Structure formats: structure tokens, C-alpha cells
Amino acid sequence: MLKRLLSDFLSYNPDDFKLDASVEKVDIAAKRLLGNEPNARSAADYDTIHHVKSYYRGFVGRSLVVACTPMARDKLKRLFTTIPAGEPFSSRRLATLGISADLAVSYVRSGWLLRLARGVFCRAGDEPDLGRSLVFLRESLAGLHVGGRTALQWHGLLPAGPTEPTKSAGSAGLAGSAEPSQPTAQELTLYGWGNGELPPWFTTRFPATYQRKRLIREEPAWPVQVGPVPGRMALATVSSPERALLELLSEVGVGVALDEARRAAALAGALQGEALQALLQRCTSVKTVRLCVTAGQEFAHPWYATLVLASLPRGSSRPWVRRSADGLLVLPPI
């Protein structure tokens, strides 16, 4: 309904919206579009009427000249009907809609657009959406997606927040950790192929860490096994459970404690063996492959029996040994 009302407003007689517009004039115009309050058929209609009236009143005292020419109104209508709510867009995208840089500045000043950064905008009144923001940022950070710890939490395979560690003097495989894991539940873990940093307009709204990681041999623009998560993310920007587990395991000894990796591996019994096999065959990290195989064997997960170990990256015939803050990590050859 709001979309229809906005469309009606943009095609409304511009004589009703002069630069000296008053609250009363805007209220009258809103009533013409919406009808009087007694005609509201439900509480939802009543709330909608007040919402739209408040929206119109927000333009009182602003420079409305950009909405007072047929061409400008047509361009605004095209913008608001073409670009979804919550989607960031660049000045290049505006140019494809016939909106010049100067006109974009006018839209910002008059309250139609919100400027997020230089050359980056979103529709006024809409907060940037996480999924649409990730898709937009892929233009500069190829393959950007939610992965690792956050993706596992969203898939229900890792509890959110820190837990008590399981202490041991050393570790073989995923036997335990000498240090506690300290994840920040509110921070998103993002991965991608491109060098660069997340822009401030994104991190202030979505606290996140970004890592350039080339764990899987793939086309940077089309990361494999990255899709939506029902109830969490409608767009294809989240690692599958299988990919997320490998991303988490790849950080063991660096930013992820063995104790956290062990908890995730213990809950990974329902992974799809075929999907995991495809990722392991493309994996560029021998440590990650060995950790995954060791975890499957240790917890007797059903998918372990489906893996074709001979086709996986094997590395040398010697154990993989690395000392970290968690202790000594020893991974036997496959």
C-alpha cells in the first residue's frame, strides 16, 4: 500500500507542494490520497494513514523543487519502483536511471535519498539491508559472503557466544584446547577473494570482520555452495554448512581455538557427504582437509564413510605439526 501511495504522491499535482508548503497543505494532500480517517476499515489502515501523513509532513520546510517538474517526478518514480527498499546503490546505478550527479545531490538535500558514502546512496527512510548490502559490496570485494563462525551459528551448528574451554596439555587432532575461544557473537565473519576493507557505513550498521581467503578453488565472482538461509537471509550470501565448517577449521590456531572447532565438528553429523567431498577436492589447505577428515573419523559421522579419501589433497606423508596458543596440533596424514 505504501508503495502505491508513494507512486500516487510522485504523480500528484505539483501545485500542491510549493516551497512554502505548510503542515496543513500537506495534511490536505494526504487526505485527498488516503481519504478521511473515519473511512479507515481497520487499525492497520488507520496506522498506515498516520504513517504516510507523517512521511509527507517530513517534507515541510525542505526544498521540494526537485519534485515539482514532470521529468524529476518521473525519475523519482522510476528510482523508487526500480530499486528495492534497503538496497544500497551507486551513482553509476543512478546514471542508468537518468539521474545525474547534480540531481542526486538535490535529492539528498531534499530528503529523497540518504548518502551513505561518496557515490553511495539508499532510499531515504530505509535502512540498508544486510543481504542487499553484501551483494552491493561484491562489486569491490569479489565473492563477499557470510561464512565460518557466523554461518555455522545461523545454520544451528555452533552455539552463539563464548563457552568454557576443555583444557589439556596438548592436542592431537581435535582432542581439546588449552585456551578458551572468545568469539564475539554480534560480529559477522565475512570472507571474500578481494583485497580491501569493509566501508564504515557498513560496519557501523553491521559489526563485522573481513578476511581475504582463497580456501576453495573457484571463480571469485561465483563462490560455490553459498546461498540463502531460510529465516535469516533471503539472498544467496551465506556459506552452506559444509563450506562454513571448512572455513572455521581453516582458522584453527589462528583466530579459532581448537575447543570451538571441536564443538562445531561434534554438531556436524548431518552434513551432506557429497557436498563436503566436492569442497574438499577443491580445498587449497591441507590442514583444513586433515582436520575435517580427522573430525569425521573421531565422531563417527555418517558423511565420513562416504568420502573418497584417495581423491582429496593429501600433502606429504608426514604428520602436519603446528604449535599455537592452543598447544601442539598434530594431524596425521590421510
Q: What is the pTM of this model?
A: 0.73
Sign of CA dihedral 287, 224, 228, 4: positive
pLDDT grade, residue 326 (50/70/90)? Answer: low
pLDDT at res. 239 = 97
Q: What is the mean pLDDT of residues 230-237?
A: 89
More confident of the two residues 71 and 325: 71
Residue 100 scores a pLDDT above 80: yes
Q: What is the mean pLDDT of residues 134-152?
A: 95
Backbone angles phi, psi at 211, to 5 degrees: -130, 130
pLDDT 10s digits, 39-65: 444 444 444 444 444 444 444 434 444
Q: What is the mean pLDDT of residues 123-142?
A: 94
User: Taking the chain, what is the end-to-end CA distance rounded to the nearest angstrom?
Assistant: 60
The strand pairing partners of 89, in sequence order, are 121
pLDDT at res. 289 = 95
Q: CA–CA separation, 148 vs 196, rounded Å? A: 19
Is the distance from CB of 293 to CB of 318 less than 8 angstroms?
no
Grid cell at residue 292 = 575435517
pLDDT 10s digits, 154-190: 999 888 765 443 333 344 456 544 343 344 447 999 9
The strand pairing partners of 117, in sequence order, are 120
pLDDT at res. 72 = 72
pLDDT at res. 66 = 46
pLDDT at res. 162 = 53
pLDDT at res. 49 = 46
- What CA–CA distances, in Å, run from 33 to 22, 24, 64, 306? 17, 14, 19, 63
More confident of the two residues 147 and 2: 147
Residue 31 scores a pLDDT above 90: no
pLDDT 10s digits, 272-320: 999 999 999 999 999 999 999 999 999 999 999 999 999 999 877 787 7
Is the distance from CB of 148 to CB of 192 less than 8 angstroms?
no
Q: CA–CA separation, 271 vs 269, rounded Å? A: 6
pLDDT 10s digits, 265-284: 999 999 999 999 999 999 99
Residue 223 scores a pLDDT above 50: yes
Sign of CA dihedral 73, 79, 84, 85: negative
Residue 33 scores a pLDDT above 80: no
pLDDT 10s digits, 239-266: 999 999 999 999 998 888 888 999 999 9
pLDDT at res. 253 = 82
Say what percent of the chain tops pLDDT 90: 52
Backbone angles phi, psi at 90, to 5 degrees: -100, 170
pLDDT grade, residue 119 (50/70/90)? Answer: very high
Residue 151 scores a pLDDT above 80: yes
Mean pLDDT of the chain: 78
More confident of the two residues 268 and 71: 268
